[in-house]
């Protein structure tokens, strides 16, 4: 749900693409729910949530979203944030875990990000998630969504993130030792990759 995550992912990938040992780096996406207390099936405009959570005026939120859209464009991403919605992301995170099991985790993440930030497609109902999962190439999406499979894994990922000092997203951990918080510059990610490689 956080537009900084997609932005940070792309900047990290830019750094990884020119990293000398990039072909030996394994990237694993972990779950972090920004607000797990939101009931399933309840959605709201992201703009309204931001106004309430950060005590911002609507004009401040609009300016912030427009700035983010410009930053995203620099990284080759197309954001349309004005009408984006937010809600419970447990099922979307479970799809990402299924993607890892089937070896296409990054493809699943990319499809969900594009659906949410570019297409304003819901990530909060089973019909939409089933379609997106199928488009990404996942098998057994409907069976997953009608079960509670991977719910424990999502909760465990969140707990581990908190133990590592992450209380927001994006948060990157290199070699289990070096943490980078936020959608940092490509240079910061390049430095983190080099440091982790040198001291591994």
Position 33 pLDDT exceeds 90: yes
| pLDDT recorded at residue 200 | 80
- Are 41 and 124 in contact, with CB atoms under 8 Å apart? yes
| pLDDT recorded at residue 137 | 98
| pLDDT recorded at residue 36 | 92
Backbone angles phi, psi at 84, to 5 degrees: -70, 150
Give this prediction's pTM: 0.95
CA distance 166 to 168: 6
- Are 88 and 42 in contact, with CB atoms under 8 Å apart? yes
| pLDDT recorded at residue 168 | 85
How confident is the model over 135-148, as pLDDT tens digits?
999 999 999 999 99
Position 167 pLDDT exceeds 90: no
Mean pLDDT of the chain: 96
Of the candidates 75, 58, 71, 68, which has an alpha carbon nearest to the alpha carbon of residue 14? 75
Task: Give one DSSP letter per residue of 67-116, joined into a string.
Answer: HHHHHHHHTT-----TT-EE---HHHHHHHHHHHHTT-HHHHHHHHHIII
Mean pLDDT, residues 160-169 taken together: 89
Position 67 pLDDT exceeds 90: yes
Share of the chain above pLDDT 90, in %: 93
What letter would DSSP give residue 24?
G
Position 198 pLDDT exceeds 90: yes
Q: Domain 3-198 adopts which CATH fold?
A: Glutaredoxin (3.40.30)
> What region, left, alpha or beta, does residue 103 occupy, with left being phi > 0 and alpha being psi -120 to 50 degrees?
left
**What are the boundaries of each domain within the chain?**
3-198
Position 128 pLDDT exceeds 90: yes
């Amino acid at each position: 749900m956080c537009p900084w995550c997609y932005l940070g992912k792309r900047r990290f990938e830019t750094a990884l693409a020119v990293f000398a040992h990039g072909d030996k780096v394994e990237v694993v996406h972990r779950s972090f729910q920004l607000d797990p207390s939101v009931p399933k099936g309840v959605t709201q405009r992201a703009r309204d949530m931001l106004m309430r959570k950060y005590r911002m005026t609507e004009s401040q939120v609009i300016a912030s979203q427009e700035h983010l859209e410009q930053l995203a464009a620099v990284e080759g991403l197309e954001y349309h944030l004005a009408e984006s919605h937010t809600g419970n992301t447990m099922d979307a995170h479970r799809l990402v875990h299924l993607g890892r099991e089937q070896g296409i985790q990054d493809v699943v993440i990319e499809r969900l990000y594009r659906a949410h930030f570019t297409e304003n497609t819901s990530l909060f109902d089973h019909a939409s998630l089933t379609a997106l999962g199928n488009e990404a190439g996942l098998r057994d999406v409907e069976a997953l969504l009608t079960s509670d499979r991977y719910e424990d894994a999502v909760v465990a990922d969140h707990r581990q993130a908190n133990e590592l000092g992450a209380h927001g997203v994006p948060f990157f951990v290199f070699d289990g030792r070096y943490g980078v918080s936020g959608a940092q510059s490509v240079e910061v990610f390049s430095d983190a990759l080099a440091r982790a490689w040198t001291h591994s």
